[in-house]
């Protein structure tokens, strides 16, 4: 996903959650003296797992120079916990490293990238696991240089961790890795034929 940062990056990294001393309800964020208020989400964007994942793909896609709605993007993420984590492979060493950033950091980098590059991303299959207020979406994506392109220039997997606070869904983490010649997408993560 979120290809603007790393054309060769990203696999799923699960968010380790520690809930040992009791859960706290997520409050709608408010502004502090140092920050602006967290953007309020369109209720349709966050009413279901499917809706928030669709919104995530939609908001980052567009033509060269087309402004993305970064407030909408930020509104999908938990205000304190939201992160994006592209993986960076070192093919020669057979290792990966990760870079974590908050939604604002991603938006700043992607703003520059989208001035010179069109990027349209769509989900082609997914596997959803859901328990209580926690959900995980293993989402296979394709990225295109044109909205109506027939062949993707990139494919990969987004690992999307979500939570529901009883009022809406929040993105906690999006981590991703791209397909490469030495790392093809397994058939089980592709659409059924």
| Domain enclosing residue 89, as ranges | 43-185
Q: Are 60 and 110 in contact (CB under 8 A)?
A: yes
Residue 179 belongs to a domain with what CATH number? Answer: 3.10.450.50
Q: DSSP letters of 118-144?
A: -BEEEEEEEEEEEETTEEEEEEEEEEE
What pTM did the predictor assign? 0.81
- Give a yes or no: residue 177 inside a domain: yes
- Give a yes or no: residue 107 inside a domain: yes
Pairing relation of β-strands 169-178 and 83-90?
parallel
pLDDT tens by residue, 15-69: 222 223 233 333 444 443 356 789 999 999 999 999 999 999 999 999 999 999 9
Distance between CA atoms of 107 and 119, rounded to whole angstroms? 14
- Give a yes or no: residue 143 inside a domain: yes
- Give a yes or no: residue 113 inside a domain: yes
* Counted domains in the chain: 1
């Amino acid at each position: 996903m979120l290809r603007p940062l790393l054309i060769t990056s990203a696999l799923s990294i699960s968010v380790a959650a520690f809930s040992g001393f009791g859960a706290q309800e997520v409050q709608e964020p408010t502004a502090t003296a140092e920050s602006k208020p967290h953007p309020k989400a369109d209720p349709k964007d966050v009413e279901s797992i499917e809706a928030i994942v669709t919104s995530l793909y939609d908001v980052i896609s567009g033509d060269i120079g087309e402004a993305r709605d970064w407030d909408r993007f930020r509104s999908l993420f938990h205000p304190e916990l939201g992160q994006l984590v592209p993986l960076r492979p070192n093919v020669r060493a057979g290792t990966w490293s990760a870079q974590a950033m908050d939604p604002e950091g991603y938006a700043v980098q992607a703003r520059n990238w989208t001035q010179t590059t069109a990027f349209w991303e769509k989900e082609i299959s997914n596997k959803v696991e859901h328990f209580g207020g926690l959900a995980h979406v293993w989402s296979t994506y394709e990225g295109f240089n044109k909205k109506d392109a027939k062949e993707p220039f990139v494919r990969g997997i987004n690992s999307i961790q979500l939570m529901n606070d009883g009022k809406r869904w929040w993105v906690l983490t999006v981590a991703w890795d791209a397909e490469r010649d030495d790392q093809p997408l397994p058939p089980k993560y592709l659409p059924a034929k």
